[in-house]
Amino acid sequence: MASCSKDQGNYDYTEVNKLVVVDTAGEPINRQEFEVAEGEDLSIEVQAKGTLPDFDPAKVKYVWAVDKDTLGVGSKVTLKASQFKPGSNNVKLYATDPTTNLEYLNVFSVFVSKTVSKGFFVLTKDTDLNSILYIKSSRKPNSNWFRLTSLGKENPYPLGKNPVAIDLKSRYRVYDGFTVVTKDGANPIMTVDLPSMEPYAIVKGIGTSVSGGDLHPTFFRMGYSALNGTGFILDNGRVRRVSEGYLWPEAIRGVAKYDFGKNGICYDDFNVSGYAGRFLMGYDKISKRILFFESARQRFNFDQISENLSTEPLGDLEVVGAGPDAFGTTGGLLYGLILRKGDLVYNFSTFGNFNASRKFEFTKVKENARANIPGIEKAVSFNYDKWARMYYYAIGRTLYRFPFFSVSPLPFFTLPEDGTGNIVAWSFDRDESGGHKHVGIATFNPSAKEEKKGSFYHYSVKSDGSGNPLTLISKSLYQIDEAVSIALGVE
Helix H, strand E, coil C: the string for 274-292 is CCCCCEEEEEECCCCEEEE
Residue 18 DSSP code = -
Measured over the CA atoms of residue 117, residue 459, residue 339 and residue 316, the dihedral's sign is: negative
Taking 80 as the threshold, does the pLDDT of residue 2 lie above it?
no
Q: What does the buried/exposed string (b/e) look like for 101-121 if buried means 16 or more CB atoms within 10 Å of the residue's CB?
A: eeebebebebbbbbbbbbbbb
Distance, in Å, from the CA atom of 207 to the CA atom of 186, rounded to the nearest integer, reads 10
In 3D space, the residue among 198, 184, 221 whose CA is nearest the CA of residue 430 turns out to be 221
With 90 as the cut, is the pLDDT of residue 365 above it? yes
Nearest to 298 by CA among 356, 232, 256, 253: 253
Mean pLDDT of the chain: 90
Give the span between the Cα atoms of 94 and 65, in whole angstroms: 8
Residue 413, pLDDT score: 97
DSSP state of 149: S
Cα separation, 95 vs 98, in Å, equals 10
Which residue type sits at 149? T
Q: Report pLDDT digits (tens) over 186-232.
A: 999 999 988 888 999 999 999 999 889 999 999 998 876 565 667 89
Residue 269 pLDDT exceeds 70: yes
Kindly tell me if the per-residue pLDDT of 274 is higher than 80: no
Long-range pairs, 50-59, Cβ under 8 A, ≥24 = 50/17, 50/18, 50/19, 50/20, 50/97, 50/99, 51/15, 51/17, 51/18, 52/15, 52/17, 52/99, 55/17, 55/19, 55/99, 56/98, 59/98
> How would DSSP label each residue in 247-310?
EEEESB-S-SS---TTT-EEE--BGGGT-TTSEEEEEETTTTEEEEEE-SSSTT-B-SB-TTTS
**Can you name the residues that pair with 70 across neighbouring β-strands?**
65
Selected residue with higher pLDDT from 157 and 328: 157
- Reply yes or no on whether the pLDDT at 427 is more than 80: yes
**Amino acid found at 69:** D
Work out the burial of residue 190: count CB atoms within 10 Å of its CB; fewer than 13 is exposed, 13-18 middle, 19 or more buried: buried
Domains and CATH numbers, the chain: 12-112 (2.60.40.10), 115-148+381-402+410-491 (no CATH)
pLDDT computed for residue 49 by the predictor? 93
Mean pLDDT of 414-441: 91
CA atoms within 13 A on the CB side of 101: 0
Per-residue pLDDT, averaged over 394-402, amounts to: 98
Residues 6+ apart with CB under 8 A from 192: 151, 177, 178, 179, 180, 198, 199, 200
Question: pLDDT tens across 94-111, in order?
Answer: 999 988 899 999 999 998
The DSSP secondary structure of 174-228, one letter per residue, reads EEEEEEEEEEESS-SEEEEETTTTEEEEEE--TT-STTSS---EEEEEEPBT-SS
The more confidently predicted of residues 256 and 417 is 417
Percentage of residues in the chain having pLDDT higher than 90 = 65
Please give the pLDDT value at position 227: 59
Is 302 a residue whose pLDDT tops 80? yes
* Those residues with Cβ within 8 angstroms of residue 410's Cβ, 6 or more apart along the chain or in another chain: 400, 401, 402
Q: Is the pLDDT of residue 285 over 70?
A: yes
Q: Which pTM was predicted?
A: 0.82
Q: How many CB atoms lie within 10 A of CB 95?
A: 22
Question: With 70 as the cut, is the pLDDT of residue 128 above it?
Answer: yes
Taking 3-state DSSP, the helix, strand and coil percentages for the chain, each rounded to the nearest 5, stand at 5, 55, 45
Number of neighbouring beta carbons within 10 Å of residue 185 = 23
Confidence of residue 118 (pLDDT cuts 50, 70, 90): confident
Q: Is 80 exceeded by the pLDDT of residue 3?
A: no
- The reported pLDDT for the residue numbered 172 is 66
Burial group, residue 356, by CB count within 10 angstroms (0-12, 13-18, 19+): exposed
Angle at 259 between CA 256 and CA 264, to 5 degrees: 140
Mean pLDDT of 128-138: 95
DSSP assigned state of 345: E
Q: How far apart are CA 455 and CA 444, in angstroms?
A: 6
The whole-angstrom separation of Cα 173 and Cα 140 is: 17
**Residue pair 187/247 in contact by the 8 Å Cβ criterion:** no
β-pair type (33-37, 103-113): parallel
The pLDDT value recorded for residue 142 is 77
Predicted pLDDT of residue 9: 64
List, for residues 446-483, the tens digit of each pLDDT value.
Answer: 999 999 999 999 999 999 988 899 999 999 999 999 99
Residue 387 pLDDT grade (very low, low, confident, very high; cuts 50, 70, 90): confident
Q: How high is the pLDDT of residue 120?
A: 95
More confident residue, 143 or 66: 66
Per-residue pLDDT, 306: 95
Q: Could you tell me how many residues make up the chain?
A: 491
CA 425, CA 457: separation in Å to the nearest integer? 11
- Determine the pLDDT at residue 337: 97
Task: Point out the least confidently predicted range of 89-103, 265-279, 307-321, 349-363.
Answer: 265-279
More confident residue, 230 or 136: 136
Angle at 94 between CA 92 and CA 100, to 5 degrees: 155
What pLDDT band is residue 273 in, cutting at 50, 70 and 90?
A: low
Is 179's pLDDT higher than 80?
A: yes
